[in-house]
Amino acid sequence: MKPENPFESKVSAYIEVHELFRAADRLVVGVSGGADSMGLLYYLKTHHAGPLLAVHVHHGIRGEAADADARLVKTYCEREEILCVVEHVDVPALARKEKLSLELAGRQARQRIFRRLMQQQDGSHLVLAHHMNDQAETLLMRLIRGTGISGAAGIRPKNGRTVRPFLCVKKGEIEAYCRENRVPYHVDQTNDDPRFTRNAIRQGILPQMEKINGRAVDHLAGFADIAEAYQREIDYWRDELLPRWTETGADGRIALKLDEWSRVSLLMQEAIVRKCLIQAGHSMVDVEKRHVAVILDRLNDQDTTWDLDMPHQVEVSRRYGVLYFKKITGGRQSNAYTAFPGEYRIKPRVSQEEVIGAYRIKTQWASAFQKKCNKTYLMNEILINYGRIKKDLLLRGRKPGDLMIIPGVGTRKVKKFLIDQKVDRDLRAALPFLADGARVLWIPGIWKDRTVMEPGSPEDLWVWIRLEKIDE
């Protein structure tokens, strides 16, 4: 390998400090044909001992210019004896199909191709050519749109198996490096189109900042490094708490327990909520600080049950002491529980066993249960003195106006009782209720009206009722 110049020494030191890859690693390199990626490919060819695979993605957008980029990359790789793959993808068609911007559709297409080739070629790392100017532009773009520490951390030198060795150098340095070493490259004219936010920052805002301070790009990139260090610390403590505070169900729903929520800082609360949103939606794209802020604002309200729609079809729901994150597919599922079906009349003096919905109900009538009536405490069964019933005994779902009589308290609305008992709002519609008209006598597993369990005369008729949930 040739002796290093100052540019190469800076890049090599950056690779070593951040432990981006090892000397013998098999690297997959994203190469567009621009100065950044061509300079990166040249650096790796002359400084990396392990095998290289150059990957060029033709997006089907810029016509002859895109064809020329593909030819440039392929020709250069043939000359330098670098293994090269050129992949064609119709990004405009993908954007129309997925209803995405061209930029996002292109990025997702590249990521899919890179993942596939990494697997096929047994690549250890994907190497991309983002540089210090990209870092400064990304930071400004995120600050303008609104971001937190995570967004301010910008582009990271190492993210999983994706590494970026050129984050320590500027665009101008890379172009000079290419000229010095006679590395060919093309200039993408779309990079000058001010209609794109990044280009407007690159062509207008950053040059103005550099007029004020010639080292503006260095300082912005340096701040991103500081934010990245802070974010690593936040991530560490967040990941310590998440396994203790969250559970993920088989359906992918994340349950965040709020028992100790108030004891952590606002910064940590933001980090935890953001992570749950990303995990539930399987993407961090479009998950912004404002979304996290809305959730935290609602958590500070007095309301203990509410629902919010978030990006990537994620529904965030609070049910008392638990915050749920669930990706809704195939349309909104407003109720995760099955409503109790219809009504079932307990027929006097008829012992029965039947299935109603997800329950099996058993009834037994006799006049010799009065000695046991106050000893039956199992919550899935009840013993009732039928002489105290005014109308019909009905097993049914909840109805508006349902009441209950609580000794020492008096008449109370069932809805208010269930709220005080912190019963999930969705579960309330699925609960079975045993009622005498509008008076609820029994909510299996939650409450019994003990007054209807009291003996009267020796001739009283008693009914024993047992309700069992059928495993599905």
As a residue count, the chain comes to 472
* 3-state secondary structure labels for all residues of 255-293: EEECCCHHHCCHHHHHHHHHHHHHHHHCCCCCCCHHHHH
Pick the residue with more confidence: 460 or 33? 33
Q: Which domain holds residue 293?
A: 249-327
* Statement: residue 21 has pLDDT above 50: yes
> Regarding predicted confidence, which is higher, 369 or 194?
194
Residue 230 inside a domain? The answer is: no
Please give the pLDDT value at position 149.
Answer: 84
AA identity, residue 135: Q
Q: Are residues 395 and 307 in the same domain?
A: no
- pLDDT at res. 400: 86
In a domain, 110, yes or no: yes
Q: What is the DSSP string of 23-80?
A: TT--EEEE--SSHHHHHHHHHHHHH--S-EEEEEEE-S-STHHHHHHHHHHHHHHHHH
Share of the chain above pLDDT 90, in %: 53
The DSSP letter of residue 94 is H
Bigger pLDDT: 65 or 457?
65
Contacts of residue 389, defined as CB under 8 A and 6 or more positions apart, other chains included, come to 436, 452
Mean pLDDT (the chain, rounded): 88
Residues 435, 402: contact at Cβ < 8 Å?
yes
In this structure, of 167-171, 356-360, 412-416, the range with the lowest mean pLDDT score is 356-360
The whole-number pLDDT of residue 471 equals: 61
pLDDT tens-digit map of 245-293: 999 998 899 999 999 999 999 999 999 999 999 999 988 767 878 889 9
Sign of the dihedral defined by the CA atoms of residues 44, 45, 50, 51, in that order: positive
pLDDT of 342 > 90? The answer is no
**Chain segment 370-415, per-residue pLDDT in tens:** 445 444 455 688 888 888 888 889 998 888 889 999 887 888 998 8
Residues 203 and 86 in one domain: yes
pLDDT over threshold 50, residue 465 = yes
Examine the domain organization and report whether 260 and 135 are in the same domain: no
Q: Which residue has the higher pLDDT, 111 or 104?
A: 111
CB 105 within 8 A of CB 91: yes
Sorted by sequence, the CB contacts under 8 Å of residue 375 that are 6+ apart come out as none
Residues 289 and 359 in one domain: no
**Do 154 and 211 belong to one domain?**
yes
- Residue 369 is predicted with a pLDDT of 54
CA distances from 181 to 38, 40, 52, 146, 353 (A): 11, 12, 19, 41, 88
Does 82 lie in the same domain as 207?
Answer: yes
Give domain status of residue 20, yes or no.
yes
- One domain, residues 295 and 404: no
The answer to whether position 262 is within a domain reads yes
Residue 158 belongs to some domain of the structure = yes
Whole-number pLDDT of residue 373: 45
Query: Are residue 121 and residue 191 in the same domain, yes or no?
Result: yes
Does one domain contain both 173 and 294? no
Query: CATH code at 286?
Result: 3.30.465.60
Asked which of 299, 327, 355 is the last residue of a domain, the reply is 327
pLDDT reported for residue 353: 87
pLDDT of residue 289: 80
Is the domain of 44 the same as that of 159? yes
What token pair was written down for 46? 């002359």
What confidence score (pLDDT) does residue 368 get?
60
User: Are residue 452 and residue 356 in the same domain, yes or no?
Assistant: yes
Asked whether residue 315 is domain-assigned, the answer is yes
Q: What are the tens digits of pLDDT across the range 436-449?
A: 999 999 988 888 88
From 269, 303, 327, the end of a domain falls on 327
Q: Given 209, 225, 241, which residue is the final one in a domain?
A: 225
Domains of the chain: total: 3
At 57-108, the pLDDT tens digits run: 998 888 899 999 999 999 999 999 999 999 999 999 988 888 888 888 888 9
User: What is the per-residue pLDDT for 376?
Assistant: 47
Query: What single string gives the DSSP state of each residue in 174-205?
Result: HHHHHHHTT------GGGG-TTSHHHHIIIII
472: pLDDT strictly greater than 50: no
Q: Residue 18: pLDDT above 60? A: yes
Q: Is residue 287 part of a domain?
A: yes
- Distance between CA atoms of residues 460 and 408, nearest Å: 25
Domain with 181 in it: what CATH number? Answer: 3.40.50.620
pLDDT band at 331 (very low <50, low <70, confident <90, very high): low
Query: 287-297 pLDDT, tens per residue?
Result: 878 889 999 99
pTM (2 d.p.)? 0.64
The H-or-E segment that residue 313 falls in is none
Q: Are residues 285 and 185 in the same domain?
A: no
Q: Is residue 242 part of a domain?
A: no
Chain segment 175-222, per-residue pLDDT in tens: 999 999 999 999 877 776 677 778 889 889 999 999 999 999 999 999
